[in-house]
Amino acid sequence: MIKSTEDIIFNACKNQVGFYRSEYFKEWFHKEYPGMEQHHNFGSYTSIKTSDYCSVPVTHQQHQSAEKDKSQFAIDNLPLMLKVIIKYIVHLETKVKELESEEI
């Protein structure tokens, strides 16, 4: 069976993102995107979710559709996932700068 380009990209990413858990990230995510659900863009392996950091905010309806075509949904939402990751990095850098300025 020939795999689609989307499936190839999805599986290549899924195999690299790992299984990182972060309560800090999850807390930030839900504050940043209130009323939205956290969707792990690369799904899971035998019910173990892939990295929390590779999540996108979705409505309940979007979450349901994501489960129907995981690879296409993940590819379509890569730009959003990158935006979320960047926002989190900026959030963390802001916290570090605040701590550094308190020390001075």
Q: What DSSP string runs through 26-57?
A: HHHHHHHSTT-EEEETT-EETTEE--TTSEEE
What single DSSP character describes residue 2? P
> What pLDDT band is residue 73 in, cutting at 50, 70 and 90?
very high
Neighbours of 59 (CB within 10 A): 12
Reference 54, options 11, 8, 18; nearest CA is 18
pLDDT digits (tens, 9 = 90+) for 38-62: 999 999 988 899 999 999 999 999 9
Do 29 and 38 contact (CB within 8 A), yes or no?
A: yes
Which residue type does 34 have? Answer: P
In whole numbers, what is the pLDDT of the chain averaged over residues?
94
Residues 72-89: what's their mean pLDDT?
Answer: 97
Which residue type does 33 have? Answer: Y
Range scoring the smallest mean pLDDT among 5-9, 23-27, 85-89: 5-9
